[in-house]
Chains A and B, each alone.
Chain A
Amino acid sequence: MTADTFDDLRDLYQEVILDHGRHPRHAHRLESFDASAKGDNPMCGDRIEVWVKLAPDGSIADTGFDARGCAISVASADLMAETVKGRSKADTQALFEAFRAMARTGTCPACDAALAGPLERLQPLAGVHEYPSRVKCATLAWHALIAALAGGKEATSE
């Protein structure tokens, strides 16, 4: 019964999302960090705080977060933390823009081939494009991360 009822939701709630939503690997405050920002989705009340530790070359050494939100927002934050590790700020910005396009439209045909690897990892979140009200759940953590890297303190997915 359960499988049948929600079969058509598997595009949105793929196993990797349920898994990372339930057991996020990066959901903790970093002991030491170089940047942080809070994200807020005022329409639904989702909140996130992101901490970033930078390597000597300016690339992202580690990302941690504390999220109060749905399975999609938590899973997205966790997959983000995983995929931005080792990336430069410019690289992270490019990945964010590619991911945002994917969340809104389901694909990113114009995306840089160099991003194919991380985008494949983020692909399970592409299902949100069919649920316009949920796209912001998937992008909230990214908005906070980008704000932190830019030296800001607050971001919104509005």
Chain B
Amino acid sequence: MNDATHSTTLTHDFDIARIRADFPILAQRIRGKKLVFLDSAASAQKPRAVIDAMRNAMETQYANVHRGLHWMSERTTDAYEAVRDAIATLMNARDRSEVVITRNVTESLNLMAHSYGRGVLQPGQAVVISAMEHHSNIVPWQLLRDDRGIELRVAPISDAGELDMDAFEALLADGKVGLVSMTHMSNVLGTVTPAERIVRIAHAYGAKVLFDGAQAVVHRRIDVQALDCDFYAWTGHKLYGPTGIGVLWGRRELLDRMPPFLGGGEMISSVSYEKSTWAEVPHKFEAGTPPILEGIGLKAAIDYVQTIGYQAIAAREASLVDHALARLDAVPGVRILGRAQDRGGVVAFALDKAHAHDVATLLDRQGIAVRAGHHCAEPLMHRFGLESTARASFGIYTTHEEIDFLADALARVREFFT
């Protein structure tokens, strides 16, 4: 199998050579070997457009935003605020004020646990997560539970790695659940959760729904109005943007009811020692100097992704995943975690003869970058009886040949440890 056949039969409008040329880092060699970067789910590489946008800003048009009455500040404010419009359009938000800019998805989820959890939910209510969350969507709710007596319930998953919908609904049946906070795509199993069904069920029992879309937003277009969810969180650096910028989208009427998260400049309307008043949403949640350059970079990343188009990205990714499952299944001793019907471009696996860390070190020596460990999802690893796995994850620049290379290398790794 080679890329040419795939690109003609499956993803005819996907010019992989041109896309790869957009990512300067892919030309790097690792220990004399071609870089095979299969760790995009941890953080994706950056296209030239993002690099240039951030550099141009620093070289030609940079100042602090929202406060300077000078030309540079006003121009920088416009450039920075443009990312809010781009995000609102990308997610089909009703209004740009529904887009809160944070530092990363972890901060978005902590903002929710703090402001919604402590400000809107009441002791005695419950929050539901799933058994395939990463630590960022577990720990903030544990802190909330211990602080406020808000119960934390965990919806189980099947051996295939799919949400058990009956069990999920049963968790909501007593009407105590105020919020469902769930991954839209597992960073380990690749499972895409049935978001519309989750929302329908949750709303039927009076619960709001927050999706952790850190992985999902990379692989498919998120339309918050079509999903009918209440909150949606994601992060820029996995979508080919810079680190240090995240997103929390929320329904305006809910954001209005939530108290602030961090206090400081930018989030106030007026300050006195007796009493301060808060700025309007979304600035109420955006204390301090925002990630200005990161916003400019993320705007370029969103534009870049939309130029390629989610339809083409999704078709390409489906082809890569099918290919990876077929090739890795054919390697003796490889066990793939998760067999969800609807899944995205991450494949976690264990090798019978070698620990994941040894696998990663040997792959690294061949120029192949994979993640190894518990993927910040320890409870999920234990659900499958493992301490750690290796994980290959794909970006828009990943090729079928790179997956072939991984499969061949894994066979050699196994021989080495046999």
Interface residues of A (CB under 8 A from B): 1-2, 5-6, 8-9, 12-13, 18, 22, 43-47, 68-72, 131, 134, 137
What is the minimal beta-carbon distance from B113 to any residue of chain A, in angstroms? 22
- Name the 10 nearest CB pairs between A and B, nearest first: A70-B355, A70-B357, A45-B374, A44-B373, A70-B358, A45-B387, A45-B388, A68-B387, A71-B358, A2-B415
Q: Does B87 contact A (CB under 8 A)?
A: no
Which single residue of chain B is at the shortest CB-CB distance from A43?
B373
Q: Which of B361, B381, B387, B417 contacts A46 (CB 8 A)?
A: B387
**A–B pairs, 26, beta carbons within 8 Å:** A1-B412, A2-B412, A2-B415, A5-B412, A6-B416, A8-B365, A9-B361, A9-B365, A12-B361, A18-B417, A43-B373, A44-B357, A44-B373, A44-B388, A45-B374, A45-B378, A45-B381, A45-B388, A46-B387, A46-B388, A69-B387, A70-B354, A70-B356, A72-B357, A134-B357, A137-B357
Q: Is the CB of B387 within 8 A of A5?
A: no
**Can you name 10 extra interface pairs (CB under 8 A) apart from A9-B361, A45-B373?**
A2-B416, A5-B365, A5-B412, A6-B412, A6-B416, A9-B362, A44-B374, A45-B378, A46-B357, A46-B388
Interface residues of B (CB under 8 A from A): 354-358, 361-362, 365-366, 372-374, 378, 381, 387-388, 409, 412, 415-417
Which single residue of chain B is at the shortest CB-CB distance from A8?
B365
Once the chains are docked, how many angstroms separate the CA of A131 from the CA of B361? 9
Once the chains are docked, how many angstroms separate the CA of A8 from the CA of B33? 13
Kindly list chain B residues whose C-beta atoms are within 8 Å of the C-beta of A44.
357, 372-374, 388
What is the minimal beta-carbon distance from B369 to any residue of chain A, in angstroms? 13
Q: Is the CB of B387 within 8 A of A47?
A: yes
Kindly list chain B residues whose C-beta atoms are within 8 Å of the C-beta of A5.
365-366, 409, 412
What is the minimal beta-carbon distance from B383 to any residue of chain A, in angstroms? 14
Which single residue of chain B is at the shortest CB-CB distance from A128?
B361
Kindly list chain B residues whose C-beta atoms are within 8 Å of the C-beta of A46.
357, 387-388
Kindly list chain A residues whose C-beta atoms are within 8 Å of the C-beta of B365.
5-6, 8-9
Kindly list chain A residues whose C-beta atoms are within 8 Å of the C-beta of B412.
1-2, 5-6
Once the chains are docked, how many angstroms separate the CA of A73 from the CA of B378? 19
Kindly list chain B residues whose C-beta atoms are within 8 Å of the C-beta of A2.
412, 415-416
Kindly list chain B residues whose C-beta atoms are within 8 Å of the C-beta of A134.
357, 361
Once the chains are docked, how many angstroms separate the CA of A120 from the CA of B354? 26
Once the chains are docked, how many angstroms separate the CA of A45 from the CA of B373? 6
Once the chains are docked, how many angstroms separate the CA of A61 from the CA of B330? 47
What is the minimal beta-carbon distance from A158 to any residue of chain B, in angstroms? 14
What is the minimal beta-carbon distance from A107 to any residue of chain B, in angstroms? 21
**Which of B356, B361, B417 is the most central at the interface, judged by chain A CB atoms within 10 Å of its CB?**
B361
